[in-house]
A and B are shown apart, each in its own frame.
Chain A
Amino acid sequence: MNSQVQGERVAQAARFQRGTFRPAPGRGALGRMLLAHARTEARLTLRNGEQVLLTLLIPAALLVGLSLLRVLPMPEPRVASVTARIFALAVMSSAFTGQAIALGFDRRYGVLKRLAATALPRWLLVAGRLVAAVLVVVVQLVVLGAIALALGWQPTLVGLAWTVPLVLLGTLAFGALGVLVGGALKAELVLALANVLWFVLLMVGGIALAPGTLPGWATDLVAWLPSGALVNGLQAALAEAAAPGWQPVVALLAWTAVGALVASRTTRLT
């Protein structure tokens, strides 16, 4: 029986040319890995209906609604103020809420373990997601910016120049917090928490209600939240064509650092 098995082995192996699987292991080039990972993540986000609703459709609807209906008090020019807020909302929606939920479920489905079992370094698992978040934010802002232009927004070069680093910083801060929430808890908890935080920050985190319309102490507090800081920075850049001041930048840097530091300790693969 054994020699029969051995004989069969030879016959079976003939299905594959000898040497087909000869070992030649090694890690891929870092840039290539980062690009492949980020591209896959970004594509998956833009292909996912719920994510598109969260990251594009809701912000677009709010952009149009708040610009045309004067339901909330906004500094003039109104469309520029609304655009600043909606850009901040878009960043928060994708880099934080969408990111956290996707990460929570990817862990559940063993995706992180799968990727961690390849040559992909652990830091690249996070870096790839953040690069993907930046790519998605770029798509969001191009679409939302086009809608704002159609609504009469008149951006300035100075404002746009400040928008780029602010959005990048905001994406990193919210992205780090998204990884923190999505990497530590059970998928269902992540889903609930990420949505609740999204709603709370939208309502009282400086996005729907301008920080200035809140009581004094609340205004100060909100300015230090990632949402409030990003709104204040973008409001200065987009509505006032001015530098954002140091506070939003410091606040966003601090959230990035704290989020990344804690996440690097609490993030689990499963």
Chain B
Amino acid sequence: MSSNQQHTAVEVSGLVKRYGSTVAVDGLDLVVDRGSVLALLGPNGAGKTTTVEVCEGFLRPDAGTVRVLGLDPLAQGSALRPRIGVMPQGGGAYPGVRAEEMLRLVAACAANPIDPGWLLDTLGLTSAGRTPYKRLSGGQQQRLSLACALVGRPELVFLDEPTAGMDPQARRLVWDLVTALRADGVSVLLTTHLMDEAEALADQVVIVDRGQVVAAGTPAELTAGDSDHQQLRFRARTGLDVRLLRDALPEGCAVREITPGGYLVEGRIDPQVVSTVTAWCAQHGVLAEEMHVAKRSLEDVFLELTGRELR
């Protein structure tokens, strides 16, 4: 393990956390490599916040081991905390504190803080700098919380639903920030229930449901899925004889007209299959439009694994 620690920012294994009879986290494993972004993706109540709070040293696990930057977050919390940045899910400021005052307080706790003025400006909070926290909008509160997580130049940041309650521009900004953090070698563990967010930002995605990991991998791995169950979709005139098309295709491919004029080929979709479909259409004087190989979304993955909607 010691040699791994240099390459591992967070290592969680067999984590269990119960609240009374509720099992919030049920044997969860995950590894965040240094300098990478891991997204913990799952519906509300999946155990994301609980997992993150155990990593931050706020909760004592009932079972399992947690190492953050090689340290035990509970026993070695005072050595760990100066090295991490934390954006909790909601809250985290005095109701009456001004945005700038709060950020300057958190900045004073760090040895080499980022200039708070610059950070406020970057996050579009300069004009709200003198506004009391309770009168900031939800999105502004979130941005202030993000600023507090970043101001100490941490090695590792925990972002719990960083874009919740944000408008699209602010969300974009957060995405850009996470990308810049990664480029500068900061490790990021973020939680989200948004598939596109996980897909766009994460090197690794861990999908959790009811406290358990249901799938893990890179976004590409998760969405590539089983290569024998890929899909090719196209539009053409209604009523094509799909049996003829199927006969032209390799063994194992199925063809259906799923909506009037909307066709779906399922099976192992390789370049040969695509050119066969095109050629067959040309042969029958059919113009095939909007042809594409459909990738599964993370939502499809989740639905297949759990039989439940992600949101």
What is the 8 Å Cβ interface bit string for chain A, positions 1-13, against chain B (1 contact, 0 not)? Answer: 1100100110011
Among the listed stretches B91-99, B238-246, B282-290, B303-311, which one makes contact with chain A, having 4 or more residues with CB under 8 Å of it?
A: B91-99
Within 8 A of B (CB), among A76-117: 105-106, 109-111, 113-117
Contact partner of A117 (CB less than 8 A), chosen from B88, B93, B114, is: B88
Question: When the two chains form their complex, are residues A21 and B180 in contact, meaning their CB atoms are under 8 A apart?
Answer: yes
Among the listed stretches B21-29, B60-68, B76-84, which one makes contact with chain A, having 4 or more residues with CB under 8 Å of it?
A: B76-84
Question: When the two chains form their complex, are residues B200 and A24 in contact, meaning their CB atoms are under 8 A apart?
Answer: no
Which B residues touch A121, using CB under 8 A? 78
The complex places the Cα of A28 from the Cα of B109 at a distance, in Å, of 5
Contact partner of B111 (CB less than 8 A), chosen from A25, A35, A48, is: A25
Determine whether A32 belongs to the interface, using a CB cutoff of 8 Å to chain B.
yes
Among the listed stretches B149-157, B161-169, B247-255, which one makes contact with chain A, having 4 or more residues with CB under 8 Å of it?
A: B149-157
Within 8 A of A (CB), among B177-209: 177, 179-181, 183-186, 199-200
Which A residues touch B94, using CB under 8 A? 40, 44, 106, 109, 111
Determine whether A158 belongs to the interface, using a CB cutoff of 8 Å to chain B.
no
Question: When the two chains form their complex, are residues B184 and A119 in contact, meaning their CB atoms are under 8 A apart?
Answer: no
Task: Tell whether A25 pairs with B180 under 8 Å between CB atoms, given A106-B94, A117-B56, A117-B86.
Answer: no
Determine whether B148 belongs to the interface, using a CB cutoff of 8 Å to chain A.
yes
Contact partner of A118 (CB less than 8 A), chosen from B104, B106, B150, B219, is: B106
Determine whether A215 belongs to the interface, using a CB cutoff of 8 Å to chain B.
no
Which B residues touch A26, using CB under 8 A? 82, 110-112, 152
Which A residues touch B234, using CB under 8 A? none
Question: When the two chains form their complex, are residues A32 and B108 in contact, meaning their CB atoms are under 8 A apart?
Answer: yes
Question: When the two chains form their complex, are residues A5 and B200 in contact, meaning their CB atoms are under 8 A apart?
Answer: yes
Question: When the two chains form their complex, are residues B180 and A118 in contact, meaning their CB atoms are under 8 A apart?
Answer: no
Nearest-CB distance from B22 to chain A (Å)?
Answer: 17
Contact partner of A27 (CB less than 8 A), chosen from B58, B109, B122, B175, is: B109
Question: When the two chains form their complex, are residues A16 and B180 in contact, meaning their CB atoms are under 8 A apart?
Answer: yes
Determine whether A22 belongs to the interface, using a CB cutoff of 8 Å to chain B.
yes
Instruction: Report the interface size class on chain B.
Output: 35 or more
Nearest-CB distance from A188 to chain B (Å)?
Answer: 15
Determine whether A120 belongs to the interface, using a CB cutoff of 8 Å to chain B.
yes
| A112: nearest chain-B partner, CB-CB | B92
Which A residues touch B108, using CB under 8 A? 28, 32-33, 35-37
The complex places the Cα of A19 from the Cα of B112 at a distance, in Å, of 14
Question: When the two chains form their complex, are residues A21 and B150 in contact, meaning their CB atoms are under 8 A apart?
Answer: yes
The complex places the Cα of A44 from the Cα of B106 at a distance, in Å, of 16
The complex places the Cα of A176 from the Cα of B183 at a distance, in Å, of 46
The complex places the Cα of A137 from the Cα of B168 at a distance, in Å, of 47
Determine whether A15 belongs to the interface, using a CB cutoff of 8 Å to chain B.
yes
Nearest-CB distance from B297 to chain A (Å)?
Answer: 11
Question: When the two chains form their complex, are residues A12 and B78 in contact, meaning their CB atoms are under 8 A apart?
Answer: no
The complex places the Cα of A29 from the Cα of B111 at a distance, in Å, of 7
| B112: nearest chain-A partner, CB-CB | A24
| A8: nearest chain-B partner, CB-CB | B200
The complex places the Cα of A29 from the Cα of B91 at a distance, in Å, of 26
Question: When the two chains form their complex, are residues B88 and A13 in contact, meaning their CB atoms are under 8 A apart?
Answer: no
Question: When the two chains form their complex, are residues B180 and A15 in contact, meaning their CB atoms are under 8 A apart?
Answer: yes
Question: When the two chains form their complex, are residues A2 and B111 in contact, meaning their CB atoms are under 8 A apart?
Answer: no
Question: When the two chains form their complex, are residues A13 and B180 in contact, meaning their CB atoms are under 8 A apart?
Answer: yes
Determine whether B90 belongs to the interface, using a CB cutoff of 8 Å to chain A.
yes
Question: When the two chains form their complex, are residues B110 and A22 in contact, meaning their CB atoms are under 8 A apart?
Answer: no
Which B residues touch A265, using CB under 8 A? none
Question: When the two chains form their complex, are residues A21 and B96 in contact, meaning their CB atoms are under 8 A apart?
Answer: no
Task: Tell whether A23 pairs with B105 under 8 Å between CB atoms, given A16-B176, A119-B152.
Answer: no
Determine whether B220 belongs to the interface, using a CB cutoff of 8 Å to chain A.
yes
Question: When the two chains form their complex, are residues A12 and B112 in contact, meaning their CB atoms are under 8 A apart?
Answer: no
Determine whether A258 belongs to the interface, using a CB cutoff of 8 Å to chain B.
no
Question: When the two chains form their complex, are residues B295 and A9 in contact, meaning their CB atoms are under 8 A apart?
Answer: no
Task: Tell whether A16 pairs with B110 under 8 Å between CB atoms, given A22-B184, A44-B97, A118-B81.
Answer: no
The 5 closest A-B pairs by CB, nearest first: A26-B111, A110-B91, A36-B108, A114-B92, A119-B82
Given contacts A20-B184, A109-B91, 16 further A-B contacts (CB under 8 A): A8-B200, A12-B179, A13-B183, A20-B180, A24-B112, A25-B82, A27-B111, A37-B108, A106-B94, A110-B90, A111-B93, A113-B58, A114-B92, A117-B56, A119-B109, A119-B110
Enumerate 28 A-B pairs (CB-CB under 8 Å) in ascending A order: A2-B220, A9-B183, A12-B175, A13-B179, A13-B180, A13-B183, A18-B184, A19-B184, A21-B180, A21-B186, A25-B82, A25-B111, A25-B153, A27-B110, A27-B111, A28-B108, A28-B111, A36-B105, A37-B108, A44-B94, A106-B94, A110-B91, A115-B109, A118-B81, A118-B82, A119-B109, A119-B111, A120-B109
Spell out B's residues near A (CB within 8 Å): 56, 58, 78, 81-84, 86, 88, 90-97, 101-102, 104-106, 108-114, 122, 148, 150, 152-155, 175-177, 179-181, 183-186, 199-200, 219-220, 295
